[in-house]
Structure 1
Amino acid sequence: MKKMKYRKYAAYPSVAITARSWPDKSITKAPIWCSVDLRDGNQALPVPMSVEEKVTMFQLLVSIGFKEIEVGFPSASATEFAFARRLIEERLIPDDVTIQVLTQAREHLIRKTFDAISGAKHAIVHLYNSTSTLQRDVVFRKNREEIKAIAVEGTALVRRLKDESGNAGIRFEYSPESFTGTELDYALDVCHAVMDTWGASADEKIILNLPSTVEMSQPNIYADRIEWFCRNIKARDAVLISVHAHNDRGTAVATAELAVMAGADRVEGALFGNGERCGNMDVVIMALNLFSQGVDPELDFSDLPRIREVYRRCTRMDIHPRNPYSGELVYTAFSGSHQDAISKGMKAQPLSPGGLWAVPYLPIDPQDVGCNYEAIVRINSQSGKGGVAYVLEKEYGIQIPKWMQPDFAEVVQAVADTTGVELSVEQIHDLFHAEYVKLRQPITLKKCQISWDDEEPRRQDEEDTTISCIVQTREKEFNFTAQGNGPLDAFVKGFVRESGVDFSVDEYAEHAIGRSAGALAIAYIKIGCTDGRVSFGAGIDSNISLASIKATVSALNRLP
C-alpha cells in the first residue's frame, strides 16, 4: 500500500482551557438564525443568481421564518447593489426582517454599502478583514497592529456613517475572518478594539462573528475556542457571539451545534449547505436536528419539497439524495430488515405513549416536513419480504399473509437481481398478478358452479356444498362434481379424485380489496402435497368462494 504524504500537515493546536462547561450542556432553544444564501451561497454558484432569482429566494427565506438575511455584497457588483435597492424601494422587506450586507474594511466599499441600504428600516452592516497568521504573513504582509488598524478604521467609518444617516435601525457586525487560523489572544484583542471604537453596550450590542472560514479542527476544539472567547470577552452583555461554520472537514453542523452549547448566540448558514468549497453549515439539518429533539427550531421546514424546488430553480444546484432530512432517499429503505421494522413501526405508531414519534429508522415523521409515507419503502435486490408486502398493502390494499411473504419476496428478489435496478410499486404489483393471479397454465379452470343445500340447521362438518367444474390440463379436459363443507373443500376433494394429485390446503387467508359494496375479494392459499412439495397461490374475484378456488388453481400451477 502506498503511504499518503501525511507528514506535510500539522495537528491543529488545542485550547488551554480548564473546566470547560459546554460538554454538559444541551441546546434547549434555537439560536438567532441568519441566512447567507444570497451572499456566501450565491458567490459559490457557477452561475450566480439574477436579481429576479434573488428576489424569489429572498421571499422563500422570509416564508421559512428567517429574521436576519444577508442579501449580498452590494459594493462588489452592480447586480448585488441593484438587488438591495429593489428590496428597499419596492418594500419587499417585512418590518420584522433585517437585511444584512457584507463589506470589506475599505472606505469606498463601506460608503457604497451605505448607499445600497439607504432607506432600509432595519439593516446590519457586516464588516470583515482577515486576521489569520497565514493571511497576515502571505497575503497582506502586515503585522498584528497593522491588521488591527484596518478593523478599527473600518469600524470608525461605519459608526460615523450610521450616525450621519440618523437611522437607528442600522446595526453592526464584525468578523475577524479566518478566526480558526487566528491566535485566540489576538482575535480577542482585535474584537476589543472594535468594540471600543463602536461604543458597544448592552443597549447597542455589537455582533461579533467568529467564523470557521476554513474548517481546520475537530468540532470540540472549535467549541473550546468559543467558550474561551465568551469567558474572556469584556462586557459579554454588549455582544452577540455569532458563528459561521464551513464544511471543509464535513463537520460544520456539529461545529455550529457545539459552538451554541459553548455560548454562541447566533448561527449563520445556508439552505442545504450551499457555499464555497465544501459548503456552509446546513441550516436545514441543524434546525431539524433541534426539531427532532423536541426543540422549536423557530424556522418552518414543513414543506421541504417546495423549498427544494425553489432552491434548485434559483441556484441550479442539486441536493444529494442522502442529504439528511432533505434528500429524496432519506425516508426510504431498501434493506429488508429496515423495511420490516418501518412497516411494523408505522402500524404501531398510533399506540405510542403520549403520541410521541417512535418508528424504527425514521428519526422524524416524514409528514412533518411535507413528505409522504408512500416513499418510505422502495424495492431493489437488497429488499426483504416485509418491504415487498408493505408497498403492496400501502398502494393496492393487497395484504399478503406472513406465511406467504417469503415466497413472493423470492420472486421479487430474482427479478431485481436479474435487472439490477430498483423496482417500482407498479412493477411489483404487476409481478404479483403475473406470478399468482393471472397464471393459467398448465391448469385452467374453465367453468365452476357452486350450489348449497338449503336445509337447516347445518353442522360444521356437514357436506352441504356441491361444486361442478370443468378443468383443462395439457393432457386432457375433465369435469367433476363433488361435495364438501364449503366450496373450497368440495373443489379440493373433486380435483384430487379426478387428477390424482394428492394435496391439502395448509394455510388460507382472505380479505376484501377496498371498502365499497362492489369491492373485489382476494384469497391466499398454501398447499402441501403428500410427496412433500409445497406451493402458494392467490386468486381475485367478486365472489370470495371463487377467489379461493382460483387461488388453489394458482398454487397447483406453481407446483415445482
Structure 2
Amino acid sequence: MISNPSDKYRPFVPFAREFSERTWPSKRISHPPIWMSTDLRDGNQSLIEPMSVERKLRFFEQLVKIGFKEIEVGFPSASQTDFDFVRKLVDENRIPDDVTIIVLTQSREDLIRRTVESAAGAKKAIVHLYNACAPAFRKIVFNMSQDEVKQIALDGTRLVKEFTNQHPETSWRYEYSPEVFSTTEPEFALDVCNAVTAAWQPTPESKIIFNLPATIEATTPNLYADQIEWMHNNLQQRDCIVLSVHPHNDRGTAVAAAEFAVMAGADRIEGCLFGNGERTGNVDLVTLALNLYTQGIHPGLDFSDIDEVRRCVEYCNQLPVHPRHPYAGDLVFTAFSGSHQDAIKKGFAQRQPNTLWEVPYLPIDPADLGRNYDAVIRVNSQSGKGGVSYLLEQEHGLVLPRRLQIEFSRAIQRVTDETGAEVTAAKVFDIFTEEYLDRDQPWKLIRHRITGNPKAGSGQQFSIEVEVEENGQVRHLVGHGDGAISAFVDALDAGVKIMDYHEHAIGTGTDTRAASYVELRVGDSPTGFGVGIHGDIVTASFLAILGAVNRHAVNAPAEALAE
C-alpha cells in the first residue's frame, strides 16, 4: 500500500452539484420489491466451472419452489449451453404460467435475433439489453462519444421490438440497463433511458424495465440511493416504468445499497442467492428477503427450509456458503460465549407461545427457517466440549462434518451435564462409538451384492441385493438406482432422503479404512447423521445409512411423546 492513496485514488462524486432534494432517509420499506434472480446468468458466468444443464435445471426448479416470479435464465447468444437450456425450458414446458424468464443480450443484430429465438414460444419472456455508458468505458473500452453510445441503445431497442413482434405467441417485455450506471453521469443515464422509453413506447399496463446497476460499487450506499432517487424523480413516463437495481458488492455494502435504493424509489431488485456473482458478488437476495421478514414484512419468498436451499446452491455453484453467512451459515445461531449462551437460554425460558420474538442475540426464530434448536443452538456451558472435534481427529483420524460436530455435541453435553466432570479423549470416543458406530438395531447389515445396468434403457445403472437382519429376522431386499447409495436406499424402502454425504480415508497403506458420514431425513422428521467405518468405502456408506435410520428409530418415539 502506498503512503498517500490520494495520489492514486479519488473519491467518486456522482453529481456535479449537491443533491439536496433527497427524501429517502425518512422512508421505511413497507412491502417487498419485485425479486429477480440472476443466479443462472450473472451468478453462473462468475463460477469457476459454469453450471451444466442438469445443475441449471435443478437451480431453476429451486428458484421456482422458493417463489421467484422473474428468473434470468441465461445469456443464450454467448453460450450454446445457455441457448440449449432456455430451449429446454420452453420446449419441455418447464416454466410455470406465473413465471417470466429473462434472457440477456448485447446490442448487436445477430445476438438479439438469437436471444429472441431462444425464448420464443414461452408464455412470458423479457429481453434484457445492455450497453456500458460510463465515461471510463466510453473512453477506454469503446472509444465512443455519448451520442454513439446512446445510438447503440436505441438501435438495440428497435431490433428487440422488431424481432419480438415476429413471435406474437409470447408475451414480451423489455428491460434496458445502462451498464455501469453507478459511475455514469446521471444526466447522461437519464438522457439514454428517456430516449429508450420514447423508442419502446411502454404503457402503464405493459411497463418497460430500467435496471440501474451498481456494476462496480463505487461509493457509499447513501450516494447510490441519491442516484436512484434522482432518476426516480426525473424519468419521463415514470408510471410506465419498473425501476430496478442490480447492486454488486465491491465495497461490501450491496445489501445496504439495495435497501436504500428501494427507499429511494426502486421497484425491483436483481441479485443472487447468498450473493454469488462477479468479483465480490451480487447483492444477496436471501439476506434482503429475511431482513424484511425480521421486520414483520413477508418477502413473498419461502426460505422455510434454508438448509435445503443452501445445499442446492452449494451443489449447483460448486462453492460453499460461509458458516457465518447471515441466516444460512452453519454457525449463525451458535453461541460460544458464556454470556451469550446465558442470555439466549433465559430468552427461551421466558418465551411464551404466539408472542413477539424477543430472544437475545437471535434476530430470527431458527424454526422459521427449518432449523432445529437442539442441533443448531448451543446455550449451555461449553466446558469439556470445545476440543471434542480436535480430539476425535487427532486421536482417531475422524474428521466430522460441521453439522455432525454440532449434533454430536449434544451427546457430550448430556454427559457433562450429568457428571460435571472433564471428558477425556478416550471418553469422547466411547460416547461417539455408542452414539454412532454401535447402532445396529433394529437394522443390521449382513452382506450385499451390487451389479451394473440392471435394466437396459431405463437410465438406472445399479442393482443391489441386500441381506439384513431386522429385529432378529433375516430379510432379503432388492433395490435399483443410478448409484450404489441410491440403490441401497431404494432397497430399504424406508422413506429415506439423503441430505448430505462426506467420506475420507483413515490411515494409510494396507491398514487404510474408510469413514462415511451421511446426513439423512426419514419422512418429515428432522435430519440426523449416521457414521460408518469399514475397509470398503461402499460398505462404510451403507453402515452409515443404517446407523442414521437406527438412530431415528430409537429417537422417533421420544420425539413423538414430547410433541
Q: After the TM superposition, which residues 372-521 of structure 1 pair with which residues of structure 2 at under 5 Å, given as runs?
A: 372-378=372-378, 387-388=380-381, 409=383, 424-432=409-417
What percent identity do the matched residue pairs reach?
51
| Cα offset, 1:135, TM superposition | 0.2
Instruction: Indicate if the aligned counterparts of 2:154 and 2:196 stay in contact, CA closer than 8 A.
Output: yes
Give the corresponding residue for 2:452.
Answer: none
Q: Distance in 2 between matches of 1:157 and 1:111?
A: 8
Question: Unpaired runs of 5+ in structure 2?
Answer: 395-404, 425-563
Structure 1 residues 111, 307: closer, same or farther in 2, change over 3 A? same
Q: After the TM superposition, which residues 153-232 of structure 1 pair with which residues of structure 2 at under 5 Å, given as runs?
A: 153-167=155-169, 169-232=171-234
Give the corresponding residue for 1:359.
Answer: 359
Instruction: Indicate if the aligned counterparts of 2:416 and 2:423 stay in contact, CA closer than 8 A.
Output: no
Map Cα deviations across residues 366-399 of structure 1 (whole Å, 9 max, x no partner): 0101111013444xxxxxxx6228xxxxxxxxxx
SS where residue 159 of structure 2 aligns? helix
Question: Unpaired runs of 5+ in structure 1?
Answer: 379-385, 390-408, 440-560
Instruction: Indicate if the aligned counterparts of 2:122 and 2:170 stay in contact, CA closer than 8 A.
Output: no
Give the corresponding residue for 1:468.
Answer: none
SS where residue 329 of structure 2 aligns? coil
Map Cα deviations across residues 26-66 of structure 1 (whole Å, 9 max, x no partner): 11100000000000000011010001111110000000000
Structure 1 residues 4, 310: closer, same or farther in 2, change over 3 A? farther
Aligned CA RMSD, in angstroms, stands at 2.5
Q: Distance in 1 between matches of 2:7 and 2:371?
A: 47
SS where residue 99 of structure 1 aligns? strand
Instruction: Indicate if the aligned counterparts of 2:36 and 2:271 stay in contact, CA closer than 8 A.
Output: yes
| Cα offset, 1:346, TM superposition | 0.9
Give the corresponding residue for 1:370.
Answer: 370
Map Cα deviations across residues 270-305 of structure 1 (whole Å, 9 max, x no partner): 000000000000000000000000001000011001
| Cα offset, 1:3, TM superposition | 3.1
| Cα offset, 1:428, TM superposition | 3.7
Structure 1 runs (4+) deviating above 6 angstroms are: 411-423
Give the corresponding residue for 1:546.
Answer: none
Give the corresponding residue for 1:342.
Answer: 344
Q: Distance in 2 between matches of 1:437 and 1:300?
A: 43
Q: Distance in 2 between matches of 1:58 and 1:116?
A: 16
Instruction: Indicate if the aligned counterparts of 1:41 and 1:270 stay in contact, CA closer than 8 A.
Output: yes
Q: Distance in 1 between matches of 2:368 and 2:183?
A: 40
| TM value normalised by structure 1 | 0.70
SS where residue 324 of structure 1 aligns? coil
Q: Distance in 1 between matches of 2:167 and 2:420?
A: 78
SS where residue 125 of structure 1 aligns? strand
Letter aligned with residue 3 of structure 1: S
| TM value normalised by structure 2 | 0.69
Q: Distance in 1 between matches of 2:319 and 2:280?
A: 13
Letter aligned with residue 10 of structure 2: A
Bigger Cα displacement from structure 2, 229-238 vs 1-10: 1-10
Structure 2 residue corresponding to 1:99, chosen from 84, 98, 101: 101
Q: Distance in 2 between matches of 1:415 and 1:327?
A: 21
Instruction: Indicate if the aligned counterparts of 1:180 and 1:214 stay in contact, CA closer than 8 A.
Output: yes
Q: After the TM superposition, which residues 45-56 of structure 1 pair with which residues of structure 2 at under 5 Å, given as runs?
A: 45-56=47-58
Q: Report how many aligned residue pairs link the two structures.
A: 410
SS where residue 242 of structure 2 aligns? strand
Letter aligned with residue 178 of structure 2: P
User: Is 2:120 the partner of 1:118?
Assistant: yes
User: Is 2:334 the partner of 1:332?
Assistant: yes
| Cα offset, 1:420, TM superposition | 12
Structure 1 residues 88, 415: closer, same or farther in 2, change over 3 A? closer
| Cα offset, 1:6, TM superposition | 4.5
Q: Distance in 2 between matches of 1:418 and 1:92?
A: 50
Letter aligned with residue 427 of structure 1: I
Q: Distance in 2 between matches of 1:30 and 1:98?
A: 18
Q: Distance in 2 between matches of 1:48 and 1:24?
A: 42
